[in-house]
Amino acid sequence: MRSPATNPAFRSTCRGTESALRAAIGVSLLVCLPGLAAAEPPAANSVRNESAQQVLETLRRLSDDPRQIIIGQNIGDAVNPQHGEKNVLHQLARVTPPGRGIGLIGVDYGWGEMRMDAIRAANRQLIPFWQAGGLVTIDASLANPFARVGDPLVTRGVDINQLLDES
């Protein structure tokens, strides 16, 4: 299966991120560090539960404090235990100042090949993080199931009328 990073149109909008885009699992980290103020967050669901309200309020307060910044980064296959001590989560834990750390990890189970061993490896890292009070988001960026061959993000050659045929 060809990586989306090899698609020229896609690559032109994502220069410099090819290696991260090739990962089977895309992982995003939200880290709180001293720095610049964050932008005002968009309005949230009015029927959210108390726990979600607390998280949103914490994020809102960070944006009011000019000494805080919220940063995020797609770091590819960061939770893969095969990386051992080079695992990004282990490295961040070692260099993060006391009182600071990873607040949220977002995982995309559908990027690239969707292999059960990769999903299980990520889960072995994410479940303890969640149980320790961290926040985890899960996403699935599923490929185009109608692509005949090659890049699953390409829609050329797919007859949408045939796909919608009700006969």
Q: Is residue 159 part of a domain?
A: no
- Would you state the pLDDT for residue 134? 74
- Contacts from 52-56 at CB under 8 Å and sequence distance 24+? 55/135
Assigned token pair, 29: 């980290």
Which one has a higher pLDDT value, 34 or 62?
62
Q: Which domain holds residue 130?
A: 24-142
Q: Is residue 99 part of a domain?
A: yes
Of residues 57 and 157, the one with the higher pLDDT is 57
Closest by CA position to 129, among listed 78, 63, 86: 78
Total of domains in the chain: 1
pLDDT in tens, 83-115: 555 566 666 677 777 766 667 777 877 665 667
